[in-house]
Amino acid sequence: MDADQFEGIRRYVAFDADASATLADFYTHVAPHVPDIIEDFYATIESDPEARAVISGPEQVTRLKRSLEQWLIGALRGPHDLSYVANRKRIGLVHVRINLQQRFMLTAMNRIRLRLEEHVADFHSNDHELQRRVRRALNQLCDIELAIMLDAYHEYLSERIRSAERLATIGQLAATIGHELRNPLGIIESSLFLMKQRSAKLGLNDEQLEKHHEKIQKQVLTCSKIIANLLDLARDRPPKRRREQARVAIQRVIDELSSKVEVQLTVAPELTLDVDLDELSLVLSNLLSNASDAMGGKGTVHISAERFKGGTEIVVQDEGPGVPPEVRDRVFDALFTTKARGTGLGLALCRRIVHAHGGELELVASREGACFRLWFPELPEEPGTAR
C-alpha cells in the first residue's frame, strides 16, 4: 500500500487530524484497561481451535500479548502517518505467514472494537458529543487497521499466485524437457563407458582421447544435475517435516557437498529445525554452490541459525561481491540468472521448497557479500509435548 492508497482509505472513512487527536485523548482514559482488553483478546483465540492452532507455544503467547499492547497503544496514540502504515503492513504480513485465515482478522478486530467501545461511556460521561466523536474515531481506526492488514494478505497472495503460476508453467516445461533429455543422456553415458572399455581392450593409451572422455563425462554430469534440478522444480510434493537438530542437519549438508567451500557454522547445539531434511539439503547446497561460485572458490560462507518468531531462522552469508541492486528483486524468478552458465532454476527451486514448508526465503541487505535469510516455522506442538 502506498501513500496515495493510504490517503484514499483515510478519505473513504473520513478519518482526519481531529479523529487522531480524539483517539490520543481517549487513550489516556483507556490505558489502565489495556491489559484486560489484551487478556480478552487472547482468551478468545484460546477458545477457538483453529485460531489456537497457529500459536506455536507459551513463548509466542507472551510475545503476542506484548506486541498487541504496543499495537493498541500505537493505534490510539498515533501518529497515523506513513511509518504507521509500514508498521501495520508488516504486522499484516506476519499473520499471512503464520497462515492465519483472514476471517480471524475481522473477528479479532471486532472484539477489540467492542471492548474499546465499552469504555467510552465513562469517558467525560456528560459530554455525549465527545463520546460520539470517540466512537466514530474508534470505528474509523479499526476499519483503517483492517484495510491495511487485509491489503497485506492481498499483496502477498497475489505475489505468491504470480510466482506459483510462473513456476507451474515452467515446471510443466521442465518436466517434459527433463524426461526427454534423460534417455539420450543415459545413452551417451553408457556409450562413453563402452568406448572407455573398448579403448582399454585395444590397449589404446592415448592421452588426448582420455582427456576427451573426461570432458564428456564432466559435461554429462553437469547435464544430469540440470535435469535433476528441472525435475525437482516440476515436482510439487508436500515436504515431510520432522523435528531435527539444526546443527547436525546443516553440518550433514555441508559434509555431503561435492564442491568444497569453507563454512563457518554458528548454531547452538540444542536448536531444532522442523524440516524435510532432503529438501533442506537441496536448498542449502544450492545456496552454498552459488556462494562458492560468487567467491570464485575463495573465502568463507557464514551460516548461523537461531530461534526466531515461532520458528528457526538460518542466515547464509558469503564473502563474494554481493548481488547488484538492480537484480535483487528478480533473483528468485525462475529462469533468471546472472551467471554465464547458470540455468536460473536454483533459487526458484529453493524458494518453492521453503514456501512449501510455510517458511520464508529472502535476500537481505548486508554490508558484505550476498546474505540469504531462511525461516522455517515450527510444527504445531502435539498436545502434552512442551518444547
Residues at the contact surface with ligand HEM, assessed by CB under 6 A? 45, 51, 54-55, 60, 63-64, 67-68, 71, 91, 94-95, 98, 100, 104-105, 108-109, 112, 309-310
Q: CB 142 → ligand HEM: shortest distance, Å?
A: 8
Contact 64, 98 (CB under 8 A): no
Q: CB 48 → ligand HEM: shortest distance, Å?
A: 8
Residue of this chain nearest to ligand HEM (CB atom): 67
Between 45 and 323, CB nearer to ligand HEM = 45
Q: CB 131 → ligand HEM: shortest distance, Å?
A: 23
Contact 361, 354 (CB under 8 A): yes
What's the CA angle centered on 86, arms 323 and 162, to 5 degrees?
A: 55
Between 88 and 352, CB nearer to ligand HEM = 88
Nine-digit cell string for 322: 554481493
> Residue 323 — φ and ψ, nearest 5°?
-95, 125
Which of helix, strand or coil describes residue 319? coil
Which of helix, strand or coil describes residue 157? helix
Q: CB 101 → ligand HEM: shortest distance, Å?
A: 9
Q: Which amino acid is at 375?
A: W
Q: CB 308 → ligand HEM: shortest distance, Å?
A: 8
Contact 228, 175 (CB under 8 A): no
Between 94 and 277, CB nearer to ligand HEM = 94
In the block, cell 492488514 appears at 149
d(CA 173, CA 208): 38
Which of helix, strand or coil describes residue 89? helix
In the block, cell 523435528 appears at 243
Between 202 and 386, CB nearer to ligand HEM = 386
Between 110 and 158, CB nearer to ligand HEM = 110
300 secondary structure, DSSP code? E
Q: CB 381 → ligand HEM: shortest distance, Å?
A: 13
Q: CB 305 → ligand HEM: shortest distance, Å?
A: 17
Between 84 and 104, CB nearer to ligand HEM = 104
* Length in residues, the chain: 387
d(CA 158, CA 162): 6
Between 79 and 321, CB nearer to ligand HEM = 79
Q: Which amino acid is at 281?
A: S
